[in-house]
Amino acid sequence: MAALFLGLNANAARMDMVDVSNNNGYMSTAEYVSMRNEFGVKALTVKISEGTTFKDGYAASNIANGQAAGLYVNGYHFAHYKTRAQAIAEADFAGQAAKVAGLPVGAVLATDVESAEEQGILSQAANDRNNAAFMREIQKFGYRADIYTSGSWANNKMTIKGKTGWVAGYPYVMSGQKWYTNNNAWQWSGSARFRISYGGFDVSQLYTDYYTAGQKSTVKPTDKDAVKANNQEANKNTSKPSTSAKWVKESKIYTLKTAVKLRIGASTSSSVITTLPAGTTVKTDQAIIQGGYRWARQPRFNGYGYLATGPASNTLEYVNSGATHMYYTVKSGDSWWSIAQRNGLSMTTLASQNGKTIYTTIYPGQRLVVR
């Protein structure tokens, strides 16, 4: 099948595999059938879990509907581990969650390793040790293991051997590119569009049968002309390659033009902290273009939040910049309610425009945006 598509469309990267999570919402069998028949998708990789507390609520339906559409179905776990013991604990959590969600034995259950605040501060040796522990443990559940990471981290922050690994990298100009051919898969876009599905999707080209092995399926598109045309259209998209992307310092305040999800990492696969409504103001300290989007980092009381300010093709599509604000310094005895009342705001609005909730404790001396 792969050779056939190469012959049909040699200059376009293929959409062999799509990965989905709760961020994509409910995906029907009809949507997966359309992906298969019109875009050449043959494999589906479903988010299963994250850390040791989050189970993707759409994993079971994604697995069932993907299988019903005749796709090879695999899973992935978003890693937070920084030690070997944590890696084993996360693998146990992921394996159990995968069983409950119906991921079939023999499927791949990859570890998604990309957290700058966690694995990003570790040595290559430490990440290799932790990844190996996760993969050994996940195999006890009957799943095959692999590692997903960015091209800038592969064989830099962690070892990705030949004929293994699912590596992400986004060229400036897609057409004619063929990256990471020594690995299992290359994720080349984070914003692919499908005809009857809403929003952008991560898509990958497969170089081996690792993500299509061990499951019975006959994956044949019914419209090969549509596959060729749709792949060529997807290859027109351009973005900054993640292999050279770097965080840059910025000190800006944005006002959101539309509702935007605040995430725990700079990736559409990262869990959502909260959804910030239109009109919210957000202060940021760093920014990067990766995964098809421009991401900004928001300092928070317990770390950082990350939001997309726009796609790589229009980096400020979701925000207005250069907003000016009035601040209030919290005094002893103040509360969300008292400050909101004095400034004609609801508690929820006051808290959200400061990147917090009404349940967050505020302290004397803390500065809050009130206008």
Torsion 266-271-276-277 (CA) sign: positive
- pLDDT > 70 fraction of the chain, expressed in percent and rounded: 88
Looking at residue 311, its pLDDT comes to 77
Task: Say whether 112 sits in a helix, a strand or coil.
Answer: strand
In angstroms, the CA 311 to CA 318 distance is 9
Strongest mean pLDDT among 1-5, 130-134, 267-271: 130-134
* Residue 222 CA to its chain's centroid (Å): 30
In angstroms, the Cα distances linking 338 to 84, 214, 346, 348, 352 are: 47, 61, 10, 12, 16
Query: Could you give the angle at which helices 59-68 and 84-101 cross, rounded to 10 degrees?
Result: 50
- Assign residue 82 a region (left: φ > 0; alpha: ψ between -120 and 50; beta: otherwise): alpha
In angstroms, the CA 144 to CA 215 distance is 12
DSSP string across 153-215:
TBTTTB---TT--EEE---SS-TT----TTSSEEEEEEEE--TTS-S-EEEEEESSSGGG-SS
Q: Across residues 18-39, what is the average pLDDT?
A: 91
Binning pLDDT at 50, 70 and 90, where does residue 263 land? Answer: confident
Picking from 84, 263, 262, 269, the residue whose alpha carbon sits closest to that of residue 168 is 269
Q: Do the beta carbons of residue 54 and residue 62 sit within 8 Å?
A: no
Looking at residue 108, its pLDDT comes to 97
Looking at residue 262, its pLDDT comes to 87
CA dihedral 18, 20, 26, 30 (to 10 degrees): 10
Q: Is the pLDDT of residue 44 over 80?
A: yes
Quick count: other Cβ atoms within 10 Å of Cβ 140?
Answer: 10
Looking at residue 207, its pLDDT comes to 94
Q: What is the pLDDT of residues 190-221, one digit of tens each?
A: 888 898 888 789 999 999 999 998 655 467 78
Torsion 165-169-213-28 (CA) sign: positive
Quick count: other Cβ atoms within 10 Å of Cβ 187?
Answer: 26
Looking at residue 334, its pLDDT comes to 84
- Looking at the DSSP assignment, which residues form a beta bridge with residue 2? none
3-state SS track over 357-369? CCCCCCCCCCEEE
First to last CA, the chain: 58
3-state SS track over 261-287? EEECCCCCCCCEEEEECCCCEEEEEEE
Greater confidence, 51 or 368?
51
Joined together, the tokens standing for residue 349 give 């609005």
Looking at residue 13, its pLDDT comes to 86
Binning pLDDT at 50, 70 and 90, where does residue 243 land? Answer: very low
Binning pLDDT at 50, 70 and 90, where does residue 301 land? Answer: low
Binning pLDDT at 50, 70 and 90, where does residue 371 land? Answer: low
Identify the residue whose tokens are 């009109």. Answer: 279
